[in-house]
């Protein structure tokens, strides 16, 4: 039986359903090229802003037993640099997803216009950066999200999706699904890190990262149930008609399998990639292949959304 881990999102074929999450190992040209050479199914860029940014002061990333906390503060090369890089990255023969961020709608609009002409395979609008002091996450403002996405929708010609923060109430899943239905998005990427958590070092009686008094986005193993719930909620609300990229808590092939069962068409990896390096793709792919073999699945679409309920 031949197993094929490729997947299709918005008409774009990905050679593998695994890829990096925006932010993980994807800021510099070197990092993006390394993703190109790796067995990742796509190259996802760091979220980009109009001007280059060094980000928040260090320490700004910390890993612990159950995951990670970060307050990177959008370090990136600025969209003009990524616009130049995207056509070069095409030589790796895998889709490129450009992640767009900003502080005001004009930032998103400018970046979207320029990046659109660089022609990435998909554009992921980041509505969920939790780490800019004084800037709320746009994805928690449903009217604001609608206004911004409608404006972007009229500019962006490549398939445009959104990266959402986690929601914790069905009313919020419904409100965002309504927005996305009205705008018409090509895919949904859930979830970004769980915003504004706090990790404490009891020995030192101290926070573990510097910005925002130690508050930061939580990623990794411990956020998996929240990620799966968000994938499942949007899968159901869209009745499987809008492709979902699942992100959150992926350490093993079993974690990927769980995301697929909940309805994901592909899965992004953040904390594990930062901790383990790009070899994680091969390891997790092998583990997923082993699960498919045992269960008799040939491709992600065979089990997508197939989670049974009691």
Query: Segment contacting ligand RRO (CB under 6 A): 65-73, 88-96, 175-183, 253-261?
Result: 65-73
Number of residues that bind ligand RRO (CB under 6 A): 16
**Is the Cβ–Cβ distance between 204 and 236 less than 8 Å?**
no
* Interatomic CA distance for residues 147 and 30, integer angstroms: 36
Residue 196 token pair: 């504004």
Query: Segment contacting ligand RRO (CB under 6 A): 124-132, 150-158, 231-239, 293-301?
Result: 124-132
**Is the Cβ–Cβ distance between 62 and 69 less than 8 Å?**
yes
Instruction: Indicate the residue whose CB is closest to ligand RRO.
Output: 217
**Is the Cβ–Cβ distance between 162 and 227 less than 8 Å?**
no
Nearer to ligand RRO, 16 or 47 (CB): 47
Calculated CA dihedral for residues 181, 182, 188, 190, nearest 10 degrees: -90
Nearer to ligand RRO, 132 or 261 (CB): 132
- Please calculate the CA angle 47-139-221 and round it to the nearest 5 degrees: 70
Omega before residue 59 within 30° of 0, cis: yes
Q: Which of 98, 101, 256, 280 binds ligand RRO (CB under 6 A)?
A: 101
β-pair type (12-14, 7-9): antiparallel
Query: Segment contacting ligand RRO (CB under 6 A): 68-76, 85-93, 183-191, 224-232?
Result: 68-76
129 assigned to active site: yes
Q: Does 166 bind ligand RRO (CB under 6 A)?
A: no
Q: Does 137 bind ligand RRO (CB under 6 A)?
A: no
Q: Which of 16, 45, 70, 271 binds ligand RRO (CB under 6 A)?
A: 70
Q: Does 23 bind ligand RRO (CB under 6 A)?
A: yes
Nearer to ligand RRO, 39 or 193 (CB): 193
Nearer to ligand RRO, 18 or 191 (CB): 191
Strands (E), the chain: 7-9, 12-14, 18-20, 43-44, 61-64, 67-70, 96-100, 122-126, 160-164, 187-190, 194-198, 200-201, 206-207, 215-219, 244-247, 266-269
Q: Does 98 bind ligand RRO (CB under 6 A)?
A: no
Binding site for ligand RRO (CB under 6 A): 23, 47, 70-74, 101, 126, 128-131, 192-193, 217
Active centre residues (catalytic) = 129
């Amino acid at each position: 039986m031949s197993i094929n881990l490729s997947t299709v999102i918005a008409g774009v074929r990905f050679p593998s359903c695994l890829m990096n999450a925006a932010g993980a190992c994807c800021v510099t040209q070197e990092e993006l090229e390394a993703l190109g050479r790796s067995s990742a199914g796509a190259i996802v860029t760091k979220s980009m802003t109009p001007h280059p940014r060094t980000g928040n002061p260090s320490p700004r990333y910390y890993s612990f037993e159950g995951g990670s906390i970060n307050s990177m503060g959008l370090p990136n090369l600025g969209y003009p640099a990524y616009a130049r890089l995207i056509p070069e990255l095409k030589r790796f023969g895998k889709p490129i997803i450009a992640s767009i961020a900003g502080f005001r709608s004009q930032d998103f609009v400018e970046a979207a216009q320029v990046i659109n002409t660089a022609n990435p395979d998909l554009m992921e609008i980041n509505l969920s950066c939790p780490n800019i002091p004084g800037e709320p996450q746009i994805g928690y403002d449903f009217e604001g999200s609608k206004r911004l996405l409608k404006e972007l929708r009229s500019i962006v010609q490549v398939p445009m999706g959104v990266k959402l923060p986690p929601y914790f109430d069905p009313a919020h899943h419904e409100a965002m699904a309504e927005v996305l239905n009205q705008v018409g998005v090509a895919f949904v990427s859930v979830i970004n890190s769980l915003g504004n958590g706090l990790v404490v070092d009891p020995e030192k009686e101290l926070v573990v990262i510097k910005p925002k008094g130690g508050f930061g986005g939580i990623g990794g193993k411990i956020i998996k149930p929240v990620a799966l719930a968000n994938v499942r909620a949007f899968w159901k609300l869209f009745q499987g008609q809008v492709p979902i990229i699942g992100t959150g808590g992926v350490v093993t092939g079993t974690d990927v399998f769980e995301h697929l069962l909940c309805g994901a068409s592909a899965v992004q990896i953040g904390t594990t990639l930062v901790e383990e390096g790009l070899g994680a793709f091969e390891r997790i792919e092998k583990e997923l292949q082993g699960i498919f073999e045992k269960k008799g699945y040939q491709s992600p679409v065979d089990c997508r959304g197939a989670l049974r309920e009691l």
